Amino acid sequence: MKKAVILARSFARSAKDPLRLLETAGIQVEIKKDPDPENEKIVSELIGDAEGVLVGMDRVGEVVFTNCPNLKVVSKHGVGVDNIDLQSAQKHSVVVANAPGTNSISVAEMAFTLILILARKIPHFFEQVKNKEWGATSFGLELEGKTIGIVGFGRIGKNVAQYAQAFAMKVLYYDPFITDEISPYKKVELEILFKDADFISLHAPLTDETREMVNDKLLSLMKKEAFLINTARGELINEEALYLSLKENRIAGAALDVFTHEPPFDNPLLSLPNVIATPHISSHTREANLKMGNIAAENLIRVFNGEEPLYRVV
CB atoms within 10 A of CB 242: 22
- Residue 171: is its pLDDT beyond 90? yes
Strands 147-151 and 199-202: parallel
In CATH, which superfamily holds the domain spanning 104-277?
NAD(P)-binding Rossmann-like Domain (3.40.50.720)
- Determine the Cα–Cα distance for residues 156 and 176; give it in Å rounded to an integer: 16
- Determine the Cα–Cα distance for residues 187 and 165; give it in Å rounded to an integer: 15
Q: What is the pTM for the complete model shown?
A: 0.93
Q: Which of 37, 83, 45 is nearest to 66 (CA)?
A: 45
Helix, strand, coil percentages, rounded to 5, for the chain: 35, 15, 45
Q: How many helices (H) and strands (E) does the chain have?
A: 11, 12
Element (H, E) at 46: helix 40-47
Element (H, E) at 111: helix 104-120
The tens digit of pLDDT for each residue in 238-278 reads 999 999 999 999 999 999 999 999 999 999 999 999 999 99
Residue type, 67: N
* CATH code of the region 3-102+286-304: 3.40.50.720
DSSP-assigned letter for residue 132? T
The tens digit of pLDDT for each residue in 49-103 reads 999 999 999 999 999 999 999 999 999 999 999 999 999 999 999 999 999 999 9
Percent of the chain exceeding pLDDT 70 equals 100
* pLDDT tier at 179, thresholds 50, 70, 90: confident
CB atoms within 10 A of CB 250: 14
Q: Which of 265, 262, 234, 266 is nearest to 254 (CA)?
A: 234
- Active-site amino acid positions: 233, 262, 280
Residue ranges, CATH 3.40.50.720, the chain: 3-102+286-304, 104-277
Q: At what angle do helices 104-120 and 155-166 cross, to 10 degrees?
A: 40
What contacts 9, CB < 8 A, 6 or more positions away? 33, 34, 56
> Which residues make beta-bridge pairs with 31?
6
